Structure 1
Amino acid sequence: MSVAGLVLVYPPSRLISLLWPNWSVPFGLMAGLLAFPLILRLLHEQTNHAWSRAISAVVMTWLGICFVMLCLILVAEVLLMFPLPSETVGQGVAALVVLISMYAIFNAHRLHVHKIEVTANQTVNGTRLAQISDVHIGSRQPGFLKPIVQTVNALDADYVLITGDLIDMSNIDIDSLAPLGEIKAPTLFCIGNHERYVDLDAICQRLSSLGIEVLRNRSIDRDGLQFIGIDDAESKSQVAREIKALNANPDAFRILLYHRPDGAEEAAAWGVDLMLTGHTHRGQIVPFNFLVKKVFPRLYRDYQVDGMFLYVSPGTGTWGPVMRLGSKCEITLIELL
């Protein structure tokens, strides 16, 4: 509650006091700033219909705006140590909050394609892989899947790889996921932490019915490629524990799908050539990236780990606030050379 008060109550009430210094912010308004977002979010958790998901998206985006406001208010508090008119400082903060928030919301609706090249063996030379990750249908409306699928199909990939957190709320029905059935290329999926938090078995069944190959602690061989999918887990030893039970195909280019950028050294020792992950969102909203990097030092983009190529996607969607600041919604095109 203290954190909620710091983010939801302090920034807007402090901004009001800067803009109108002679007006005392009523306690009822401060209580409402704290209570209404929590009540509406709880309402969504209890109902989980399309309309409540829309309300939840608005509430969570307001939370993101308040976080942006908090960062700017903290800067304003430093400026107010100097003889500056509070109204002028408040007006500057208000203008920046509006501009930055509008950009962050706009940026969260744009899809960017990032292309990378990975050295592979001769048999798979020219293969194109498209990775999507952290779409977060639930936080995002199901309609967001349509432009994702259209973009992926335009890339003419040989395989589409989904590295977890496709959904983040329960009762995401098959009609909401139907656009995934229009992906032209064979599609493979490994679970993320949010699938574990909600109806895991149901979502895997729905994806399978749409023709998506769900890889749960197993591997398949296709066209000189060995795809391995390992279930997400909080334990940093998950990859080491699960991958040793699988057999590496010595003639294949081995690709591991794992939701979070953990266990890379163990994957490389097993013989993985390419490891694809997500989870970090690159922090999604600055300055969260500095905090996330403390937990996941491999925050974003590509790394070489003991001869293995590791790619950490910033995610294709957003979790919580429909905002991106200092990061982008990405679909990754991987070309094997």
Structure 2
Amino acid sequence: MLGLLFLLIASFPFKRLFRLQIHLAYMAMAFLTFLVVFTIVRDIAWLITGELAPISYVFILTVVSLIVGLINASRGPRVKHVKVPVNDLNENLIGFKIAQISDLHVGATIRKRYVEKVVKKINALKCHIVVLTGDIGDGNVREYREDIAPIGNLKSTYGSFFIPGNHEYYWNANEWLIVLNNLGTINLVNRGKIVKHQGADVLVAGIPDPVSRLTPNLDTKYADSASFKILLSHRPGIAPDAEKSGFHLQLSGHTHAGQFFPWTIVVKFVHKLSQGLHRVGNMWVYVNPGTGSWGPLVRLGTTPEITLLELVRSKEVRLIND
């Protein structure tokens, strides 16, 4: 019945209430997920104890989970400060700061006010560069141009760099690239740019998402002089190839860390690098769990995040939640 409700909401031709229609359809999806999970838990408890809990318990837990997840997702991202230890780091790059946002999904559920909140938090960090690692826009560009406009107010020492994710390609990546270029971000699809910081060169390069069917360019020979090389890749799975190409740090997203239970468990079986800081050979990889949310505006077991990465000479990795 709830499945039919989801289909009804999604297919009914609300034109003036399009965003509300999509939002309700997504919330029905989350409601159905929690309902199935708690029904299974109830049945397992019945097999173990021999007592069947009232079905009302399932509905209560479902509603509570949905409300908690909605509040957690709606209040916006936290800032996670990640110190990335680099062997023989050029002393001029100690303290170099990178703000990363990923999977913002500006569209039917993520609106202008949410984007303004993200931009305000990033600007307060006073970082050297901002990187946007895909799925920033999710939908028809013409409908969400105003919602994504605050991205043009991002401030950093050397600028903002963008690569599209799979969702931009689903909706026309070229249009999203044009809009984001007009907002001041630098397109790095199979391109690289040298950032000069206190006499040291930092390469910031990017590759397209696999759905684009473009061959990723991991050639860094043109930037052999760079003291530090950063790759922006929406999906983390390219990491072994990136490490072989000589990158020191890869920044990715895509996984949402599962976004809400039980997908927070499932995602770990689908993606080897599903969240956080990982070491792949001589390279570090950081997987942002998403600055926004896809589908249901629900986060349960995860939190939307802005990542502030700082290059350090250190033997320890420190995570600080601001």
**If the length of structure 2 is used for normalisation, what is the TM-score?**
0.86
- The equivalent position to 2:111 in structure 1, one of 120, 139, 142, is 142
Equivalent residue of 1:303, what SS?
A: strand
Question: Is residue 219–residue 246 contact of structure 1 (8 Å, CA) maintained in 2?
Answer: no
AA of the residue aligned to 2:63: V
Give, in whole Å, the separation in 2 of the partners of 1:173 and 1:235: 22
Equivalent residue of 2:29, what SS?
A: helix
Q: What's the counterpart of residue 320 of structure 2? A: none
- The equivalent position to 2:61 in structure 1, one of 87, 92, 96, is 96
Equivalent residue of 2:236, what SS?
A: coil
What per-residue deviation string (whole Å, max 9, x for no partner) do you get for residues 24-59 of structure 1?
A: xxxxxx3xx333422432457xx8x77312320121
% of aligned pairs identical?
A: 31
Q: What's the counterpart of residue 219 of structure 1? A: 192
The question of 1:202 aligning with 2:175 is answered yes
The question of 1:40 aligning with 2:17 is answered no
Instruction: Give the structure with the higher percent helix.
Output: 1
AA of the residue aligned to 2:97: R
Question: Is residue 236–residue 263 contact of structure 1 (8 Å, CA) maintained in 2?
Answer: no
- The equivalent position to 2:35 in structure 1, one of 39, 52, 69, is 69
Question: Is residue 5–residue 28 contact of structure 2 (8 Å, CA) maintained in 1?
Answer: no
Which of the pair has the greater relative contact order for Cα pairs under 8 Å at 6+ separation?
A: 2
What per-residue deviation string (whole Å, max 9, x for no partner) do you get for residues 275-300 of structure 1?
A: 00000000111121332222211111
Equivalent residue of 1:34, what SS?
A: helix
TM-superposed deviation, 1:252: 2.9
What per-residue deviation string (whole Å, max 9, x for no partner) do you get for residues 113-148 of structure 1?
A: 111112332232221110000001114332220111
Q: What's the counterpart of residue 21 of structure 2? A: 55
Q: What's the counterpart of residue 122 of structure 1? A: 91
The question of 1:109 aligning with 2:66 is answered no
Question: Is residue 298–residue 312 contact of structure 1 (8 Å, CA) maintained in 2?
Answer: yes
Q: What's the counterpart of residue 9 of structure 1? A: none
**If the length of structure 1 is used for normalisation, what is the TM-score?**
0.82
Q: What's the counterpart of residue 244 of structure 2? A: 269
Pairing of 1:218-257 with structure 2 (within 5 A): 218-223=191-196, 224-234=201-211, 239=216, 242-244=217-219, 247-257=222-232
Comparing 141-150 with 306-315, greater Cα deviation is found at 141-150
AA of the residue aligned to 2:45: L
The question of 1:319 aligning with 2:318 is answered no
What per-residue deviation string (whole Å, max 9, x for no partner) do you get for residues 234-267 of structure 1?
A: 599954xx21376333333110000011111111
Q: What's the counterpart of residue 317 of structure 2? A: none
Give, in whole Å, the separation in 2 of the partners of 1:286 and 1:238: 34
When residues 197 and 246 of structure 1 are mapped into structure 2, their CA distance, relative to the original with a 3 A threshold, is farther
TM-superposed deviation, 1:80: 3.9
Equivalent residue of 2:17, what SS?
A: helix
Q: What's the counterpart of residue 181 of structure 1? A: 152
Question: Is residue 135–residue 165 contact of structure 2 (8 Å, CA) maintained in 1?
Answer: yes
Q: Quick check: which has more Rg, 1 or 2?
A: 1
Question: Is residue 110–residue 292 contact of structure 2 (8 Å, CA) maintained in 1?
Answer: no
Give, in whole Å, the separation in 1 of the partners of 2:306 and 2:267: 21
- The equivalent position to 1:287 in structure 2, one of 238, 262, 277, is 262
